[in-house]
C-alpha cells in the first residue's frame, strides 16, 4: 500500500510537470494578426498561443462566413506546422484557404458532425500540431469553451473556435465563453479598382470590418482592413489607419 501511494504521487508529479511545461511553452508567445496596428491592441503584441480564440462572421454564413474563414486561414498561414481543421460538414473550399496563404498540404481536415468539440479537445491534447480549428454552429457553452482553453494551455497550442450562424444578431454568439479574444468579421463592399477614377470598371480588394469584441488583458476596437493577401497579411484601409472608424468619419465630414 505504501509503495502504491508513492507510485501515485510520482504519477501526479509527472502529470503536473507536463501541464507546467505545456503552459510555459506558450507564455508570451504570440502570432501576428497580420497588421501592426491591430497587434498593438493585444497583450504581448499578438494573438496568444496556448489559448482559445473565437472568430465569427458578423451575420449569416452566406454573407460573412467566408470572411471569418479567410481571416482564420491568414492567421494560420503565419505559423509553422500542421493544423487540424474540424468541420461539422464537408463544405470547406480548400483552394480558398491557399488564397489566404494556408496551403492545404498543411491541413488535416476532420469531418466530425456533432462531435466537433470532442474532436477539437482530442486534437489539442496531442503534441505535434501548430493549431486546432473547429467550426461551431449554435451554442458554445462556457463549460465547453473552458475545456478547450485548458487543453490549449496544457500543450501551448493555438485553438480557434470558428463560429457559424445563419442569422443576424444570433443570440448564441452573444453568450459568454472562455475565449481569450473574440472577433467579428463583416464583409464590406469592395472599392473601385482605381479610387481616383471611380468610373473605371472593376473592383478593388475586398474590405472587411474587423471588430475585437472581447480581449482579456487588452483593448477592444474596430478596424477597416483589406482582405488577407496571399501571405495571410491584412492591411488597414488608409482612412482608418488609426483604427478608429469614428475618427475617419469625422475627417471626411
Q: What is the CATH number of the domain that holds 61?
A: 3.40.50.300
Q: Give the single-character DSSP code of 190.
A: P
Asked if residue 31 belongs to a domain, the reply is no
Q: Where residue 9 falls among pLDDT bands split at 50, 70, 90?
A: low
Structural contact between residues 201 and 214, judged by C-beta atoms closer than 8 angstroms:
no
**CA–CA gap between residue 219 and residue 213 (Å, rounded):** 9
**pLDDT, mean over the chain:** 82
Q: Determine which helix (DSSP H) or strand (DSSP E) holds 54, and give its type and residue range.
A: strand 51-57
What is the model's pLDDT at position 247? Answer: 39
Strand-pair category, 181-188 with 51-57: parallel
Asked if residue 12 belongs to a domain, the reply is no
Q: Domain count of the chain?
A: 1
Give the pLDDT confidence of 17-37 residue by residue, as tens digits: 554 444 444 557 899 998 889
Provide the 3-class DSSP secondary structure of residue 209.
strand
Asked if residue 16 belongs to a domain, the reply is no
Instruction: Pick the range with the lowest mean pLDDT from 103-117, 122-136, 196-210.
Output: 196-210
Instruction: Pick the range with the lowest mean pLDDT from 21-30, 149-158, 178-187.
Output: 21-30
Q: Is the pLDDT of residue 2 over 50?
A: no
Asked if residue 108 belongs to a domain, the reply is yes
Asked if residue 233 belongs to a domain, the reply is yes
Q: Which three cell numbers stand for residue 5?
A: 501511494
Q: Is the pLDDT of residue 178 over 80?
A: yes
Q: Where residue 80 falls among pLDDT bands split at 50, 70, 90?
A: very high
Q: Is the pLDDT of residue 100 over 50?
A: yes
| Across 185-202, average pLDDT | 68
Residue 16: CB atoms within 10 Å = 10
- Domain span at 222: 37-189+203-252
Asked if residue 22 belongs to a domain, the reply is no
Asked if residue 94 belongs to a domain, the reply is yes
Asked if residue 106 belongs to a domain, the reply is yes
Give the pLDDT confidence of 38-78 residue by residue, as tens digits: 999 998 899 999 999 999 988 776 677 889 999 999 999 99
Amino acid at each position: 500500500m505504501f509503495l502504491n501511494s508513492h507510485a501515485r504521487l510520482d504519477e501526479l508529479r509527472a502529470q503536473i510537470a507536463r501541464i507546467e511545461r505545456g503552459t510555459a511553452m506558450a507564455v508570451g508567445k504570440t502570432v501576428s494578426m497580420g497588421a501592426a496596428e491591430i497587434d498593438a491592441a493585444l497583450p504581448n503584441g499578438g494573438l496568444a498561443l496556448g489559448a482559445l480564440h473565437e472568430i465569427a462572421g458578423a451575420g449569416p454564413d452566406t454573407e460573412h462566413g467566408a470572411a471569418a474563414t479567410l481571416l482564420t486561414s491568414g492567421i494560420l498561414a503565419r505559423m509553422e506546422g500542421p493544423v487540424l481543421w474540424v468541420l461539422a460538414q464537408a463544405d470547406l473550399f480548400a483552394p480558398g484557404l491557399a488564397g489566404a496563404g494556408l496551403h492545404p498540404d498543411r491541413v488535416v481536415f476532420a469531418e466530425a458532425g456533432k462531435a466537433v468539440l470532442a474532436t477539437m479537445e482530442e486534437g489539442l491534447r496531442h503534441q505535434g500540431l501548430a493549431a486546432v480549428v473547429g467550426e461551431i454552429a449554435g451554442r458554445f457553452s462556457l463549460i465547453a469553451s473552458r475545456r478547450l482553453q485548458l487543453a490549449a494551455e496544457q500543450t501551448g497550442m493555438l485553438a480557434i473556435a470558428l463560429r457559424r450562424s445563419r442569422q443576424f444578431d444570433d443570440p448564441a454568439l452573444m453568450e459568454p465563453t472562455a475565449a481569450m479574444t473574440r472577433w467579428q468579421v463583416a464583409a464590406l463592399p469592395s472599392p473601385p479598382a482605381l479610387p481616383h477614377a471611380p468610373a473605371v470598371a472593376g473592383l478593388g480588394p475586398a474590405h472587411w470590418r474587423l471588430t475585437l469584441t472581447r480581449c482579456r488583458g487588452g483593448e477592444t476596437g474596430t478596424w477597416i482592413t483589406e482582405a488577407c493577401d496571399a501571405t495571410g497579411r491584412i492591411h488597414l484601409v488608409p482612412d482608418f489607419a488609426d483604427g478608429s472608424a469614428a475618427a475617419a468619419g469625422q475627417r471626411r465630414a
